[in-house]
Structure 1
């Protein structure tokens, strides 16, 4: 059950309605993306490896660190009650929120254990916590890892002149592709962890099961 409690009107770009504190059970899609009673939430101020991301140990051996951190967060938080306070809206209209479990900031706990990084591009809220985790050589800090935002940037197609069509998966799971010049093209971001991808032509996208965006 999802319970809402009215708090105040939050005047932030892209968040045009009254902010509400909401409570529900955690369904961890990955480290920083949770479904709370059917509401998709992006945890504020942190960024974690993509599900398919690989890390290297000091001896050079590779291991699936993206899947590991997701598993660790699911073990710790899955099914537990959380209370979230919306702070902003992310792409696709997804809520960005600070969520607490047993009155403790969940994102802070995740960063403290070395399961995610402070996302300084958007907030310095967890920079200090990350510093402590790094000094303590916890979690991801004891392995060789490309930070998530750099990893995502390097996964983009090398030939940006030909592969410009964005294959997006909507919140309802519908596969839609956006071509340059369409209304939502610039706002659309590609996440390989969600099964999204780039295409070099509309024909290629349709053959893969995507339909064209209507606008």
Structure 2
């Protein structure tokens, strides 16, 4: 009988992991990555600037848009419990999920506040309406100029330096 209880308990724990739920206090690693219970989770559906990426504000002044977005996300999450659903792993072994804090989708919050983009860049993307609203309101990145984060990372991958890959005053999707 005790052996059966152990087996059933282990099965229940495995079911929770397979169900794809992760809940706890979150530490912000980057604009699109949080850590919960020692598990790094990349937020599904968004593309966000890296900490080293530079953008330009409404007056054309450069600023660390990635670092600002991280700080804003830290303020939003603060001491809230974060719950991640549909946890899965991509081909690189990264954990990816849709996460919420107090019932608010963190990815959508980032996009709606102009701190990240709908990753699909399609007219039917999950956060496309939030992105259009942020653009129309001139929030966050949309208040100035920027290089799309995926293009910034590609430039770095090809040997570019953060300052030259970040933003030029004419880059704005």
TM-score category of the 2 structures, normalised to the smaller one? 0.7 to 0.9
Does the alignment pair 1:151 with 2:152?
yes
Report deviation, 1:94.
1.7
Q: Distance in 2 between matches of 1:141 and 1:75?
A: 20
Residue aligning to 1:141: 142
Give secondary structure in 2 for the equivalent of 1:49.
coil
> Structure 1-normalised TM-score?
0.62
Deviation at 1:79, TM superposition (A): 3.3
Higher relative contact order (CA 8 A, sep 6+): 2
**CA displacement, residues 26-80 of structure 1 (integer Å, 9 cap, x when unaligned):** 1011111000111110001001111100112343321111111111111111332
Alignment coverage as a number of residue pairs: 148
Distance of aligned partners of 1:156 and 1:132 in 2 relative to their CA distance in 1, 3 Å threshold: same
- Larger helix proportion of the pair: 2
RMSD: 2.5
| Cα separation, 1, equivalents of 2:32 and 2:125 | 16
- Where does the alignment leave 5 or more consecutive residues of structure 1 unmatched? 8-16, 160-191, 193-215
SS of the aligned residue for 2:66 comes to helix
- Please give the alpha-carbon distance, in whole angstroms, between the structure 1 residues aligned to 2:41 and 2:60: 35
* Greater displacement, 120-129 / 94-103: 120-129
Equivalence for 1:60? 60
Give the ranges of 4+ consecutive aligned residues of structure 1 lying more than 4 Å apart after TM superposition.
4-7
Question: Please, what TM-score do these two structures have when normalized by structure 2?
Answer: 0.76
Q: Equivalent residues in 2 for 1:54-203 (5 A)?
A: 54-120=54-120, 124-157=125-158
Contact 1:5 1:21 in 2 (8 A): no
Distance 1:114 1:5, change over 3 A: farther
Moved more, 138-147 or 116-125: 116-125
